[in-house]
Structure 1
């Protein structure tokens, strides 16, 4: 129990206390998407329609010892819990507002940037496609597929007859978060607070059922499941779970009923992959992943208090602007044909994977700096006009 005691102490809340975790999550999101363009680096082969184990086909892991695969499962469980953890974080900062005010606020903070990211993605997709293939009709056709998928909010590629609509990429999270926050605020306004947990659980169940519907637009399935995660965040703030010290008995229970089950689920490939609407054991997996996400937040808050080096501060910077980071990542991921670059490393997959990953992180970081400067300049001009 010593390892738990070292991180089991009360802390006070502070501005930016979750930035470190969000920064690490952003790097891992790019890491996960980068591996998709390198076939032999693919870490999981699992869908809601198959029973293939997530670790069965991993290079160097399949032939590893049980202990080696178990260690990989521990890491995998933490990584899988990060997306639920980000939704839980959003619930942690929720404040009750009128329905109209909440909708207006979330429209401004989430939907408007989503629309701007959609425009940027379509424009740059056309530009890059034309530059690489020199064929305007083809560039228009590909850009139309991107536009259709993003406007309709499909988190996966959709085939409508002969028409293909492309997935909206990492920014699916923004649409899901919009629905989760708006719906949860409606619950706060209309329901007895003691009963909200039952409504949140019921809505998440409906969201899971919708994951089996072939065409569910606007990421509504993920949004309904996100309502449960937002409630988890709201509850943890009200109960002080993340800032308090907990008894050994509670830690043992959490280990037995949350940590160990998550490791077992991950070991056998039973994952939650919200972007792909994959919930291997339905409510079991997404609830367990959410509960583990709370534990991950608890640990990272303590790490955040004790680490202030250059690397951790750089990660905090990415976390502070994680929303912009995700928008930029969407643009570069969908608009730029990274698969052509990956094709140059057919014989050197690991080298290509690392090289492209580093380039993408540097590119996103530079674009993030530019975007922040533009936003700051715009805000200054707006303030001057208001004063004038």
Structure 2
């Protein structure tokens, strides 16, 4: 589970900014909102971020996405960039950014630190907490004179000098130590556990324009439990849909495309099939609608293109929902209410909290009506973004306000008591 993220000089975050899932001493909704770690740390399963347009809400999601991609990415070339984007409205435009992520893997606390500019990783560190004090897993820094990255492992990490050298040779100046480790034939338990967590429990972020229909379809084909959840989501968003079907379709491939198959990023098996059949196979998705005409029940299959955007959006959210709950994963969603009725959003959030053991959901929203739903609200789970005159984002929690929880969060936010609203 993620405990805390610190950001400095990245996108709209100029000064050091802290976002935290750590629960305060508040015991509201404790049973289904808070997960307790072996060391006693209490972590929230859900957090929401409000703010005006262009105030930096999405940039918080983008920061998590950047760290996810940076850790996993193996660059095509060592002279390429790092994907880092500094705060550009000040002297910070030429300075590096700083990140610190506190998280738990298999009950153990970890701390990952990164200092990076557009071209070079200046520092990268990973610590694990076997007890109250941290132990270094690795410490990586950039030697400007030799123009190489130096990687040193902690004294308690069992690794040979030859293995250290192999990892260091693969550690490009614009990539993470993790990406180098993936390219060598080694097994270091302290790294394996973190990489497994990043790969399976740190899910990719979802933005409001992302089409997840095919992803959801592929997920439910071979998973009965996943399909039942998707059908339940469909029933809630469009009451007359009773099934999802897939039919194999074939599309002819033009001769000019057959000639460039060798350059396409597909498997040898798929390439051979296309050459043999001169066509590609794909599944077309149909949704079964139940209607009643003159008291008679009838069923009609309609393609996904005939469904409403809201129906497809809620259906497609079933897949990441299932993955997050099943894997106890972290799921970030930007603008969770995109194309959805507010009651569907409320249902989604309640379902997540009820089913989550250690899964986490972070979402941004403009839906103020959620602030009336006291059975899904904790003060420490509500965050706001506000952009200053210098263009920098200020991120803060409702827990910072001396505001009685029995009062209306909705009314207070609407009249500007917490900030984070447009100036009209």
- TM-score, normalization by structure 1: 0.28
Structure number, greater radius of gyration: 2
Q: Which has the higher contact order (CA 8 A, sep 6+)?
A: 1
- TM-score, normalization by structure 2: 0.26
**Larger proportion of strand:** 2
**Larger proportion of helix:** 1
